Structure 1
Amino acid sequence: MTAHTGTPRQAGLTALYLGVFAALWFSVPKAEPPLSVLLVVLSVAALLTAVVGAVVAGRRGGHTADATPRDRAADRRYLLIVLVEFALAGLGAWLFTLVGWSAFVPVLVSAVVGLHFLPLVPVLRDPLLRPLGFAVCLVALVGLLVGLASTVLVGQVVGTGVGLLLLGYAVMALLRTRVSRH
């Protein structure tokens, strides 16, 4: 994921990655209509945002300002952060399932996802990832509390909440670049 949305390419990549992940989060909840219908609509919106992001990222003609050299050290830091994120989420999910807490896997994964945005702030030079990370962690906390105190499915709270946050950020990345260019 590239986030410093100062260039159309970077904004497009952000929208692409977060749009795809938003669609994945919208597929987490088990829901009946009308929520299930809303989740399908949101998934389609997220995938369309990802497609727009891919188109924006793929446009190279006339955007010589986008031709910045790659920062190999930042790429390595990014890859390390994402690998640690996936390892922690995967291992945690396996352990939660092993001890019979599989209903709370979305809480764990969303907390890990939220936390992974924090070390990405300096790597991607996007300070708005910090509030996104905190908001995703807050959704994890709300999902945990709802799961412990009610019969509402944790996946509905967490999947919908995280999906909305990622979709919103993806759209915002595209809009920020558009606004900054005018």
Structure 2
Amino acid sequence: MRYTRDNAMAALILAFFACMWFGWAQERPPSSWRRPLLIGAIASVILVVLGARVSWQLRSSSSVFSASEASRRYGIVVRVETVIAAVGSTAIFSSGRSEYLAPWICLVVGVHMWPIAAVLRSPSFLVLGGVLTVVAVSAVVVSGHTDVAASAITGAGAGSALACFSGVNAALARWSRG
């Protein structure tokens, strides 16, 4: 990303959602996953605090969102993502297959990262989108062959990916500040 403030905000936002995904992973995970999921959630909360602190310190500095065109494009992407997620979720619930809700949401979030990468001018979001897409598809496949809930697999994978990318953005924000 071009601006330190954007890295800090990305760290904050990605860590917040990582924590949410670690929470979603609590649906029937193997008992051996409990401690790593808790550690991931705690690490995510720490990254939220760090991201918030640096974002606050840089609140007056430049951001890709200083340009109204970037804000407009971001808003469009998020609105489209929300509609697609809602329509798909409704279809999933209507079909009685609610176990696929977490992978569906993860897939939508993964795909939404690709246009977000262009808005943020950050190719790393292309990679994150690919990772989240693989997590979503893998969760459906693996859960079909094991007793682990698709939401546990999705939550652990998405939470881990988002926490890692949050950490990278936090490090970039810290490094570029000196």
TM-score between both structures, scaled by the size of structure 2: 0.90
CA contact (8 A) 2:8 2:170 kept: yes
1:180 and 1:15 map into 2 onto residues whose CA distance is 14
Percent identity over the alignment is: 27
Would you say 1:67 and 2:62 are equivalent positions?
yes
CA contact (8 A) 1:111 1:136 kept: yes
Classify the secondary structure of the residue corresponding to 1:79: helix
Alignment of 1:88-107 (within 5 A): 88-107=84-103
2:12 to 2, 7, 16: 16
Amino acid at match of 2:87: L
1:181 and 1:52 map into 2 onto residues whose CA distance is 14
Instruction: Report how far residue 176 of structure 1 moved.
Output: 2.1
**Whose helix fraction is larger, Structure 1's or Structure 2's?**
2
Would you say 1:155 and 2:116 are equivalent positions?
no
Aligned equivalent of 2:38: 40
Alignment of 1:46-125 (within 5 A): 46-60=44-58, 66-67=61-62, 70-125=66-121
2:97 and 2:58 map into 1 onto residues whose CA distance is 47
1:179 to 171, 175, 178: 175
Instruction: Report how far residue 32 of structure 1 moved.
Output: 5.6
Amino acid at match of 2:4: P
Pair 32,134 (structure 1): closer, same or farther in 2 beyond 3 Å: closer
2:139 to 138, 143, 153: 143
Classify the secondary structure of the residue corresponding to 1:27: helix
The structure whose RCO (Cα within 8 Å, separation 6+) is larger is 2
Classify the secondary structure of the residue corresponding to 2:118: helix
2:155 and 2:176 map into 1 onto residues whose CA distance is 31
Instruction: Report how far residue 181 of structure 1 moved.
Output: 4.8
2:118 and 2:62 map into 1 onto residues whose CA distance is 20
1:55 and 1:181 map into 2 onto residues whose CA distance is 13
Unmatched segments (≥5 aa) in structure 1: none
Unmatched segments (≥5 aa) in structure 2: none
1:46-103 residue CA offsets vs partner (Å, 9 max, x unmatched): 1110111010011049xx8x33571111101101111111221122112101101100
1:118 and 1:38 map into 2 onto residues whose CA distance is 29
CA contact (8 A) 2:30 2:148 kept: no
